[in-house]
Structure 1
């Protein structure tokens, strides 16, 4: 686990800090003046990458969130920040950074505790600042769904003042369930490239039926680009990024006029509404997953292992808890290979690991070499119906 104190010590010493196992092989002269953090991006702009976020961008993000709280009638300096998100992601880094910027308590919530709503409620009620501060919480929809399904979880959520929900779209049934229980959700949108939130909806607007991600924060501009792609301009855009396969090339995040193009199709009509991805990326439990990259990775490993697999296709199928989960179709002459595939991917991250492997003798791309993913999803649904 990453120790926030170690991050702060490194930043105070003027260094760049990797928040995970970053391939820190870039020439130092490519780095902007420090200090800052190197954060793994979930891929909002297409493909996973590493982003360089200087310390003053984290400060700016925390200040913009404080202004948002003040605009809805809350004092940031009278808050308690609860954080169940991993600190090596920007979604987990920023709750801690906000708390230290505002001079308020920050409390980590381990993933094991989040799966025990009754114990979670008792644990938080024992916190010294619980009764005299407004409690702020950040969640992804998967965590929200688990808590809403349990009476103690709903009671816990009901004691929050603001619950920022991001990392994936908030499904309509989940939103309706939260509204019916009077849960103060604040759906938001942000990315590693933008140092977290760039829009947020107030709990009052959410409970009144607004289904957007809210309006831009005070330091943010939004617009729609080609193909209705969401574009963002703010002074806290990452100062550069690079991909694992090109660690020697520092790529710009913004274009020449300062706009960052996300990988999301959007609508802006008062509030921001995300309409889906422009690429094949999926959202699994708040993590962005790129099926084509996983297919290429698996086929490389299969060639090394010498297993008789002709092709694989990773499909995102709807899942009530995760949003989407991966199911993989496999064309092979040996059905025993399916068990070997499951073993080969057993150590992959949960979001990347298929929950099911399906033998598909007719699996093939089009004559043009393209995969018709929706057609194969329909094939899988027909198979499941036939098998009962």
Structure 2
């Protein structure tokens, strides 16, 4: 073999050996990288609660730096708010929180120590601290702080470190106490109502339905505030207004709850607001709602008779029917288009001195 051929052969062997060595090193590097990734992932704490454990949760404590702390407990099949007060809990809101506990996942580490807790609002004083119990033991213990470009920052109870958590929905955990309470007051089908009565300072309105047609009567109060006999005929009665009232009450919900020392006026509801009584067909029961004084703005305090004693705050859209005057149940006066007695249309929007019909021009 010629010398130059020997040199080429040697170079080829070296190239082959070098390529093999490079490939071996690359393979080794990938193995190391994969192993490091697996180790790092395996080292992340587990946060999500298993499905079976979620369904077995019997108590949840939430400490919120910006709002009052709240404790939720399962009593039988129902959830209740047990602190800072005792009340029926909003089942849908509790369910949403429980479902979210199944989805939480720690995806990366920010700091393996407790040194940066103040920086990320993860101190005991600043964080949202959530603890869930199954029986007497904890199945979830976590603190949630700031949320940044990398995601929601959190720490795990009993373990130092700042972690990035995926799937956390802050609004599910940071509700005000009133939003953990059950807000539903009434639930009925307005088509099943056969009678309704409104009694207030203006008098008493009585409505009855026959063959889907509503009739109404009104008894005003005399100078001594006593109810007189119902008027023989209520010329301007509008059955559509009764239907409007029932729509306002058939799915009645609270917008807030009365403070313990609030002056509700419910002891004298007929004077301060009004009392609405609703009778359902087929002996399905009677409903009585007492509406008292105004709370904030035009909203009023309300109490369901025969309920658990909770004093609600309901919107003016519903409350105003209890305090209504007779005009609220009557047809509106509409003179537009009617003859004014001189062959012209009476137009209340007209200006003095304008030709008939010109007052209602659009701008």
| TM interval, short-chain normalised | under 0.3
Q: TM-score, normalised by structure 1?
A: 0.23
More RCO (CA 8 Å, sep 6+):
1
Instruction: Point out the structure with max Rg over C-alpha.
Output: 2
Q: TM-score, normalised by structure 2?
A: 0.24
